Amino acid sequence: METAAWLLESIWPDGKRLKLREVVSEFARHLEDELDLVREASNCSQLRRNFLDSPLLFVPEVYWDYCYSEVMVMERVKGTPISHVDTLREHNIDIPQLARMGVEIFFTQVFRDGYFHADMHPGNIFVGTDGRYIAVDFGIMGSLSDEDKNYLAQNFLGFFQRDYRRIAQTHVDAGWAPRNTRVDDFEAAIRAVCEPIFDKPLKEIYFGRVLLRLFQASRQFNVEIQPQLVLLQKTLLNIEGLGRDLDPDLDLWKTAKPFLENWMSEQIGWRGLLTHLQREAPNWATILPEFPRLIHYHLTQETAQVLEDRLTDLVAQEKSQSRLLALLATLLAALLLVQIYL
């Protein structure tokens, strides 16, 4: 696959824009990780901590004393496969509510934790008797940086609010689209893709087709594919399939919008400021006492550098003047010799 990706990047005009080798490397890394069961156990443990005592998702406990690179032992769980919708109804599970919970679990993983289950097909998800999701198989997990989460949230909110200029500008600001991109033209292309799907139930929306049309639009504006988001796009398609099976009338936009708006309010404004201050407060105890010494050092270094630069300039000027005087002296001597012999 790596060789094929290299060849495609070499001979196909869109190869470099799609970053095919990076995408292949991203999947290869996750496939290698999936074969290490100690790593999978650590993924399970992390996700369990993120959703400990959650009313939405149950993650089994790992028994570390029995785990090795080829063996993983975790808590036994009992549940109904999420694809068995008729059985779930017999157990009095609220199917529309279950579908909404799935959307909330996904966005919680992505935006609150930046760490998500990236293999959410029906075979890996069960439903307990208490109505909670039960997750298994933690071999493939995705992670996002704070910067990725911010740009993704901006894009999702732009879609939900039909603010296509915001989406186009976010792509440029993130460096996903070239700096010289005409934002108004990019905005029009995104509007042409997204506007037809709004106000439709999930059963009438096919995200695979939407993504395909978005890729076609992005090609026109040389938008670069982000390898770290490929797993997220794959997971979104899995979520689409689950939602379509559970509740075809699910309004994905209406379900996700309040969550994203609340998350954004926690990241910007006073709430966001307080959150960041609390997060960075432990570092202040170490950094603040060093400020006077750092400021003194900086000023001293700056003063010494200024003096050194000034001295270098003076020496250069003196050398230049010395050369000029030597030249003048030579010319005067030549003139005197000419006068004497004439």
pLDDT at 260 over 70: yes
CA torsion, ordered 51, 55, 60, 64, to nearest 10 deg? 40
Nearest-10 crossing angle of helices 146-160, 252-267 = 130
Separation CA 298–CA 319 (nearest Å):
31
pLDDT for position 33: 64
Burial of residue 246, with CB atoms counted within 10 A of its CB: 0-12 exposed, 13-18 middle, 19 or more buried? buried
Separation CA 124–CA 81 (nearest Å):
8
What's the rounded mean pLDDT across residues 292-302?
66
Separation CA 224–CA 18 (nearest Å):
6
pLDDT for position 20: 63
- Return the domain boundaries, the chain: 83-121+139-267, 290-341
What's the rounded mean pLDDT across residues 286-298?
69
Please report which residue ranges of the chain form alpha helices under DSSP H: 2-11, 15-18, 20-34, 37-50, 85-90, 95-107, 146-160, 164-173, 183-194, 207-220, 230-246, 252-267, 269-287, 291-341
* Residue 209 half-sphere exposure toward CB, CA atoms < 13 A: 7
pLDDT for position 333: 65
pLDDT for position 24: 66
pLDDT for position 289: 73
pLDDT for position 248: 79
pLDDT at 82 over 90: yes
Which residues have a catalytic role annotated?
119
User: Where is pLDDT greater, at 132 or 200?
Assistant: 132
Contact yes or no for 255/100 (Cβ under 8 A): yes
Tell which residue, 59, 79, 86, has the closest CA to residue 246. Answer: 86
Model confidence band, residue 135 (pLDDT cutoffs 50, 70, 90): very high
Which residues, including other chains, have CB under 8 Å from residue 305's CB and lie 6 or more apart? none
pLDDT for position 175: 80
For 290, which DSSP code? G
pLDDT for position 232: 81
What's the rounded mean pLDDT across residues 241-260?
77
pLDDT at 334 over 70: no
pLDDT at 206 over 80: no
What would the pLDDT profile of 8-48 be if each residue is shown by its tens digit?
666 665 555 556 666 667 666 656 666 789 999 999 999 99
pLDDT at 57 over 90: yes
* Least confident interval from 185-189, 287-291, 297-301: 297-301
Which of 17-26, 227-236, 276-285 holds the top average pLDDT?
227-236
Tell which residue, 276, 236, 258, 268, has the closest CA to residue 157. Answer: 258
What's the rounded mean pLDDT across residues 219-226?
73
Model confidence band, residue 297 (pLDDT cutoffs 50, 70, 90): low
* Least confident interval from 107-111, 180-184, 263-267: 263-267
Phi, psi (deg, nearest 5) at residue 226: -100, 110
* Least confident interval from 62-71, 75-84, 141-150: 141-150
pLDDT at 54 over 80: yes
